[in-house]
Amino acid sequence: MSSRLLVTGGAGFIGANFVLGRVAAGDQVVNLDKLTYAGNLQSLAPVEKASGYTFVHGGIEDRELVSRLLTEYRPEAVVHFAAESHVDRSILGPESFVMTNVVGTFRLLDATLEHWGSLSGSARDRFRFLHVSTDEVYGSLAPTDAAFHENTPYSPNSPYSASKAGSDHLVRAYHHTYGLPTLTTNCSNNYGPLQFPEKLIPLMVLNALNGKPLPVYGDGLNVRDWLYVGDHCAAIATVLAKGRSGETYNVGGLNEMPNIAVVQTICDILDELRPGVTSRRALITYVKDRPGHDRRYAIDCRKLTAELGWKPQETFSSGIRRTIAWYLENMPWVEAITSGAYREWIDRNYVGRETTAVTGSAQ
């Protein structure tokens, strides 16, 4: 059965993968995105003319706009991806993280609560607010610690994870205090097509292809659990369809790896697909560590598997091959971002414009 969804941040990495999948599956999607540096309408080109897709340029902190969209489109669920998401940027400039992730989520929740209060019968019973969050809210693990589970106490260490923790707490409070039917997913590191080239995996793929140094923080032994973005989108769809209101579900890839092993794998696959004179491993350069760099994340996602039947389909070795192949086949997408042409286009098109909804078009 198809659904009507209000998606926030659907022009970002995970949001765009989710929107493409949902529109293809027959859902009606309204995508509210502010188009920060991380938002990219090119990622949504395959659906921009689809009748089930509407793009709205605007911020989640604009309560009036959110209320208008909820009234006009009457979505059955809000799926909330919009966020400032890059830890390094949060260290250099934390304020936008607080404004979007905490204040923006608060305003979105508040407008949604008002809308939900106006519903009755099955529309009210079926309605869900799904909040997409991160495993980084749980802090850092020692090498032998048990993986994060849904009841692990919060212990965020970066301005990014602290702001996401704040948003998680607000979602929890809106369920507990006002009864808003919420769902929260806390997910490990994603990788896959359409990821902005500032993040580890696309950065390493592109630098390695261009013969540039591959900067690895510290000793390279920080461990992350890697989840293929398509598996994450499937988990979100599963939680939306079957999750219990008020619950939190951890989402993980069952792929714990030190960063250096991730980078070496990328070098080896590129050497195989695009052989060079020397191994790309020679490009690896250790650089000064990120301040407060969490040592290890690992996620226990047994609740999601046992209760709702989801499990990841990709291993790291299958997912990273698909990802590298995607970047090799989509260099125009990458070049438009890295050349600055995309940003210039966005500035020309959107700065100073009124917020408007454009049905069936991302123009």
Ligand X SMILES: NC(=O)c1ccc[n+]([C@@H]2O[C@H](COP(=O)([O-])OP(=O)(O)OC[C@H]3O[C@@H](n4cnc5c(N)ncnc54)[C@H](O)[C@@H]3O)[C@@H](O)[C@H]2O)c1
By the criterion CB under 6 A, which residues form the site for ligand X?
8-9, 11-15, 32-36, 38-39, 59-61, 81-83, 85, 100, 104, 132, 134, 164, 187, 189-190, 196
φ/ψ bin of 218: left (φ > 0), alpha (ψ from -120 to 50), beta (otherwise): left
Shorter beta-carbon distance to ligand X: residue 37 or 308 = 37
Q: Which of 160, 249, 297, 342 is catalytic?
A: 160
Cα-to-chain-centroid distance, residue 153: 22
Shorter beta-carbon distance to ligand X: residue 57 or 280 = 57
Residue 294 falls in the annotated catalytic set: no
Write down the least CB distance from residue 185 to ligand X, Å: 8
Residue 160 falls in the annotated catalytic set: yes
Write down the least CB distance from residue 21 to ligand X, Å: 14
Residue 136 falls in the annotated catalytic set: yes
Write down the least CB distance from residue 55 to ligand X, Å: 11
Instruction: List, as one string, the DSSP characters of 12-71.
Output: SHHHHHHHHHHHHTT-EEEEEE---TT--GGGGGGGTT-TTEEEEE--TT-HHHHHHHHH
Q: For residues 118 and 183, is the Cβ–Cβ distance under 8 A? A: no
Q: Which residue is nearest to ligand X (CB)?
A: 12
Q: Which of 33, 62, 76, 135 is catalytic?
A: 135
Q: Is 285 helix (H, G, I), strand (E, B) or coil?
A: strand
Write down the least CB distance from residue 145 to ligand X, Å: 20
Q: Which of 136, 168, 231, 294 is catalytic?
A: 136
Shorter beta-carbon distance to ligand X: residue 61 or 307 = 61
b/e sequence 234-251, b meaning 16+ C-beta within 10 Å: bbbbbbbeebeebbbbbb
Rounded to the nearest 10 degrees, the angle between the axes of helix 331-338 and helix 341-350 is 70
Shorter beta-carbon distance to ligand X: residue 9 or 52 = 9
Active site residues: 135-136, 160
